[in-house]
Structure 1
Amino acid sequence: MTPIDLKQVRRDLHRIPELALHETQTHQYLKQLVMQWQQPWVTIREIPELPTALLVRVAGTDPQRTIGYRADIDALPITEATGLPFASEHAGLMHACGHDMHMTVGLGILAYFTQHQPKDNLIFFFQPAEEADYGGKRAYDLGVFTDEWRPDEFYGLHDHPGLPTGQIATRQGTLFAGTTEIHVTFTGKGGHAAYPHEAVDAVVAGAMFVNQVQTIVSRNVDPVRGGVVTLGAFHAGTVSNVIAETAHLDGTIRAFRQQDIEMMQQRVRDIVAGVALATGVTADLQLIQGGYMPVENDDTTTALFMTYMTQATDVDFSEIAPAMTGEDFGFLLQKFPGTMFWLGVGDPTHALHNAGLSPDEAALQPGVDAMVGYLNWRMMQ
């Protein structure tokens, strides 16, 4: 169907994982590959202010709309433990969230339409910085998606190790949660363990904060809607007989509705202020949401997507419950109607962001075929 060896491309990309905003080798690989498929109706665009991003526009024969497709390209600071012959060649880095699969499916779809000019205009956005630094928002804020580069609707996938290989899954409404990073530092006064009255203990402040934030979800969030506040890091002190002067904690807020996220952010601010007042420390709090908004699928595009996927005889489709996973595609879906969906990659023993994650490459062609079929069908609507 396409002039591309999907497995080889995926393995090439898997070998060269790079962190957010540093995907230079990945960008070069993508660009060189796409340039081999150059046609009069294909335009390649780079963004000087976001140099690892790559956009490709495929002009339609009789366009009624412009359809966008996004694939994220960055990796994670994880040391790979798969033992694969094409494992990461970059020490301490790994495509542990399957973005190598995302890119490969996107390339497969693009390759097809470079050989079969579509009716509608298509825009492919190979996006840096999904795992951190919200590359989708950065591109939007730079005015990338304007004029002939403005999509009327946007689509993107995320691989799902717990779903059968090649299965497509989505739902109406919110698919993924929105997230917010928590970074707080409490600063007191260090001192000798024997003289606590002469010190201000940052460990006590940090412990009080840990305990208090546990009440945010249990006592402030509608239990039907759900939410998460997790503190994953607590750093304080050096030795057992010295009262710590500082305590630094990092965590995350997650919820399916933006109004709940904003309420939970305010509760964190209130608790930090209360802890500071009660213990005598000073507090520095950073809450960073960036582009990690809830991934809210558009009613119209998602109804069309689900109609096609349900009726297509060669697609394994299922409806699925929402997940607390975060994704910065949520920001773009706040700006453009569109749909995000899961692609099953059949590795139920390893979660996303696990050093042993090994997606089944047999999912690549079904992912490409399902989206090519949908886009061709969508252009006739």
Structure 2
Amino acid sequence: MHPTNNRIADIIPEVREWRQWLHRNPELLFDLPKTSRYIADRLKEIGVDEIHENIAETGIIAVIHGSAAGPTVGLRADMDALPIEEASDAEHASQSPGKMHACGHDGHSAMLLGAAKYLTETRNFAGKAVLIFQPAEEGGVGAKAMLDTGIFDKLGIDEVYGMHNMPNLPIGHFGICEGPTLAATDFFYVEIEGVGGHASRPHKCVDPLVAANAIYNGFQSIITRNSDPMKNGLISITALQAGEANNVIPQTATLKGTVRNLHEDTRDTIERRMHEIVEGVAKCYGVRADLTYDRLCPVTFNHSDQFGHAAEAAVQVVGEANVDREQPARLGGEDFSYMLQENPGAIIFVGNGETAGLHHPEYDFNDEALPYGIAFWAKIVEDRLPLRN
């Protein structure tokens, strides 16, 4: 099924309109009233067989029945935007100050709507296609929230597939890798309290900045001296906040940042050592220090069989030469990982061309990618749910 498939080509102008409407109207996390209403209205116009709304607040699930009975395959797209001020000059730029679709979720949702239209019209498969429109991928762990409702078990999903756009991967190309694909994503916060006072009398104070500096350096040593170098991770301290005046030793200091890795045992080592370092520094410098370590998303792991199925579907869309089966794993996070813990599946990347990077204020999803994403979704359903003569 090449993306120039006549039916897919015919619907692209409409799908482009959907995508650009979504881009103009970005919403955040679970607070997606306009987005979810718009998507539900399009699904009703398309004529899918079932629509389940308000899943995990604003999530939507659409079910399309094939021409015969069979298994159930899930397809997932995310819907939420980011709290970023858009800096593009696109005619369809965000109309909501401080919010924009800087990660392409507008394109993901539009491609899945396009697939809904194609699959509803053709029904060239045996079983059920379950289309999952997810809220709160950007830090809200909306995938887990949807799973926690039990709807996946109720619908009997056997496999689940995801797709994300990739800037600087050419249009008409796909990338995928087997096994660990995207990183476990954790956030941490360290609160340090000492004794503040006048900077001219440091001996009467307990300086939290000295302890913060020791914790900062201690955290960096975890990667070089405690984790397996063949299964390394990343610790990024992204904020150190303390004090305001030149002549005052502050009472408190705060560190925060993120941990990324592709192996759960590395993740465990990093968290354990961070707690030990914070406790040890607190005793050494006479401060109170508390670490909060939040595990947001596990490693996104492409299952072997489904990795193969997704790669083959992509090959049928764009040809072997345009599918990279050894796309390097990345340290970005993705809560689709929770769905892959519950069901075998895989996530694939579709080329977005030479565009600004994800989460950049000048980023825009490339509408030239639409036919390739729709064709991939259609092919994965028809391949995994084949009609038997």
TM-score by length of 1: 0.94
1:206 aligns with 2:212: yes
Contact residue 81 and residue 103 of structure 2 kept, 8 A? yes
8 Å Cα contact 2:46/2:116 also seen in 1:
no
Aligned: 1:327 with 2:326: no
Are the aligned partners of 1:171 and 1:321 in contact in 2 as well (CA < 8 Å)?
A: yes
Q: Distance in 2 between matches of 1:124 and 1:191?
A: 59
1:365 correspondence with 2:371: yes
CA distance in 1 between partners of 2:203 and 2:287 (Å): 14
1:343 maps onto 2:350 in alignment: yes
CA displacement at 1:226 relative to structure 2 = 2.4
CA distances 1:284-318 after superposition (whole Å, capped 9, x unpaired): 2211113x111100111111222333355557311
Residue deviations 1:204-250 (CA, integer Å, cap 9, x gap): 11111111111111112222222110011111101111111111121
Question: Which of 295-304 and 218-227 deviates more?
Answer: 218-227
Q: Deviations over 1:16-74 (max 9, x none)?
A: 111111111111111111111125xx1000236x2211111112332321000111111
Q: Which runs of 4+ in 1 moved over 6 A?
A: none
**Pair 139,374 (structure 1): closer, same or farther in 2 beyond 3 Å:** closer
Q: Does 1:133 align with 2:140?
A: yes
1:294 to 286, 289, 299: 299
Alpha-carbon offset, residue 114 of structure 1: 1.6
1:122 is aligned to 129
Unaligned runs of 5+ in 2: 1-6
CA RMSD of aligned residues (A): 1.6
Matching of residues 1-381 of structure 1 within 5 Å: 1-2=7-8, 3=11, 5-39=14-48, 42-47=49-54, 50-117=56-123, 118-147=125-154, 149-290=155-296, 292-312=297-317, 316-319=322-325, 320-348=327-355, 350-380=356-386
Distance 1:225 1:283 in 2: 29
* Whole-angstrom distance in 2 between the partners of 1:241 and 1:63: 75
Structure whose residues are more often helix by fraction:
2
Query: How far apart, CA to CA, are the structure 2 residues paired with 1:145 and 1:306?
Result: 24
Q: How does the TM-score come out when normalised to structure 2?
A: 0.92
Asked whether the equivalents of residues 347 and 359 of structure 1 are also in contact (C-alpha less than 8 Å), the reply is no
Paired position in structure 1 for 2:3:
none
Q: Which runs of 5+ in 1 are unaligned?
A: none
SS in 2 for 1:346: coil
Q: Quick check: 1:347–1:360 contact (8 Å CA) kept in 2? A: no
Local SS of the residue matching 2:332: strand
State how far apart, in whole Å, the 2-side matches of 1:374 and 1:153 are. Answer: 11
Q: CA deviation at 1:278?
A: 1.4
**Is the 1:69–1:125 Cα contact (8 Å) retained in structure 2?**
yes
1:109-161 alpha-carbon deviations (Å, 9 max, x no partner): 111112122322111110001111201111112212122x1310000111100
Give yes or no for contact 2:106–2:365 (8 Å, CA) kept in 1. Answer: no
